Chain A
Amino acid sequence: MEKKKSKFSSRISGWLIRSVLGMKYEEKWRAKQQAKNGNAEGDEEKKPDDSELIVTPARQIFERFLERKFAVFSVIVVLFMFLVVFIGPLFMPKYSDSYTEVTLKNMPPCMSMTAVPGELKNDIKMIDSYGAFSVGLSNSGKVYVWGSTAVGATGINLADIPQEVKDANIVLVAAGLDHIIAFGDDGRYYGWGSNRFAQYERTETVLANPNLEPVPEIVANGGIDVTQIKKLKCGYQATALLMNDGTLYIWGNKQAYSNMDWFIGKTNIVDIDFTLNYVVGVDTKQASISVGVKGLYNTARTSITGTGEKMMTFMKDKKIVEIAASTQSVCMLMDDGTIAVTGDFLADSVDLPVLAEDEKIVSVESGNYHYTVLTDKGNVYSFGGDHYYQATVPAKMGKAAKVYTGAFQSYAVNEAGDLIGSWGLKGFIFGTDDKGADIFQRVIAGGRITMTVGAVAVIIEILIGVSLGCISGYFGGWVDMLIMRIAEVIGSLPLYPFMLILSSLLAQVSMTTDMRLFMIMVILGVLGWPGFANLTRAQILVARESEYVTAAQAMGVKEGRIAFKHILPNIFSVILVNMTLSFAASMQTETSLSFLGFGVNYPQPSWGNMLSQASNATTAINFPWQWVFTSVILILTTVCINTIGDTLRDVMDPKSSNDK
Chain B
Amino acid sequence: MGRYVLKRCVYMVVVFVLLTFLLFNLYQLMPANRAYTDAKAEMLGLKNSIKAEERDAKFDELYLKYQRKYGTDTDNTVVLYLRWLGLYPFYDGNCSGIFQGNFGYSYEHNAPVVDVVGPAMRNTAIIGVITELAVLAITIPLGIVCATRKNSKFDKGTQIFSLIGFSTPSFIIYIVFIVFFCSILHWFPVSGMKTPGSNYTGWAAVWDTLYHVILPTICLVFSSLASITRITRASMIDALNLDCIKTARAKGLREKVVVYSHAWRNAMVPMVSILVGGFFGIISGAIIMERMFGFKGMGQLFFNAVITADYDLIMFLEVIYTFLGLFSTLVTDLCYGLVDPRVRISK
Which residues of A pack against B, CB within 8 Å? 485, 488-489, 492-494, 496-498, 500-501, 504-505, 508, 584, 588, 591-592, 595-596, 598, 608, 611, 614-615, 617, 620-621, 624, 627, 631, 634-635, 638-639, 641-643, 646, 655, 659
Contact = CB atoms under 8 A, between A and B. Distances in A.
Interface in B229-256: 241
B29 A500 contact: no
B318 A489 contact: no
12 contacts: A485-B15, A494-B281, A497-B321, A505-B30, A591-B169, A617-B178, A620-B179, A624-B179, A631-B168, A631-B175, A635-B164, A655-B241
B314 A501 contact: yes
Contact of B325 (A493, A508, A595): A493
A615 B178 CA distance: 9
Given A489-B326, A643-B163, A611 B172 contact: yes
Interface in B173-216: 175, 178-179, 182-184, 190-191
Contact of B326 (A492, A508, A608, A643): A492
Given A588-B169, A615-B171, A642-B167, A497 B326 contact: no
Contacts of A494: 281, 284, 321, 324-325
Given A489-B15, A489-B326, A492-B325, 10 more contacts: A489-B325, A492-B329, A505-B26, A505-B30, A595-B169, A608-B169, A611-B175, A617-B178, A639-B163, A643-B163
B336 to A, nearest CB: 13
B166 interface: yes
A497 B167 contact: no
B183 A617 contact: yes
Given A493-B325, A505-B26, A631 B179 contact: no
Contacts of B164: 635, 639
A596 B300 CA distance: 11
Given A488-B329, A614-B175, A501 B306 contact: yes
Contacts of A631: 168, 172, 175
Nearest to A598: B306
A592 B174 CA distance: 12
Contacts of A488: 329
3 nearest A-B pairs in the assembled complex, by CB-CB distance: A621-B183, A638-B167, A492-B325
A407 B26 CA distance: 52
Interface of B: 11, 15, 19, 23, 26, 29-31, 163-164, 166-172, 175, 178-179, 182-184, 190-191, 241, 277, 281, 284, 287-288, 291-292, 302-303, 306-307, 309, 314, 317-318, 321-322, 324-326, 328-329
Given A615-B292, A659-B241, A620 B175 contact: yes
A504 B303 CA distance: 10
Contacts of A655: 241
Contacts of B166: 642
Contacts of A621: 179, 183-184
A68 to B, nearest CB: 13
A508 B30 CA distance: 7
A646 B226 CA distance: 14
Nearest to A646: B163
Contacts of A659: 241
Contacts, number: 113
Contacts of A485: 11, 15
Contacts of A501: 23, 26, 306, 314, 318
B287 A497 contact: yes
B175 A615 contact: yes
A349 to B, nearest CB: 39
B294 to A, nearest CB: 11
A596 B287 contact: yes
A476 to B, nearest CB: 16
Contacts of A596: 287-288, 291, 303
A100 to B, nearest CB: 24
A626 B102 CA distance: 47
B104 to A, nearest CB: 16
A485 B15 CA distance: 9
B163 A493 contact: no
A659 B19 CA distance: 48
A592 B169 contact: yes
Nearest to A590: B169
A488 B281 CA distance: 16
Contacts of A643: 163
A592 B168 contact: no
Given A488-B329, A617-B190, A639-B163, A504 B306 contact: yes
Nearest to A591: B169
A588 B31 CA distance: 31
Contacts of B324: 494
Contacts of B306: 500-501, 504, 598
Nearest to B183: A621
A582 to B, nearest CB: 13
A131 B152 CA distance: 55
A256 B325 CA distance: 56
Contacts of B163: 639, 642-643, 646
B34 to A, nearest CB: 16
Contact of A635 (B168, B284, B307): B168
A169 to B, nearest CB: 43
Contacts of A505: 26, 29-30
Contacts of B241: 655, 659
A494 B175 CA distance: 24
B171 A611 contact: yes
Contacts of B183: 617, 620-621
Contacts of B184: 621
A617 B184 CA distance: 11
A615 B291 contact: yes
Contacts of B328: 492
Most buried by B among A492, A500, A621: A492
B314 to A, nearest CB: 7
Contact of A497 (B30, B182, B284): B284
A634 B26 CA distance: 34
B152 to A, nearest CB: 14
A658 to B, nearest CB: 9
Nearest to A607: B169
Contact of B322 (A493, A588, A615, A627): A493
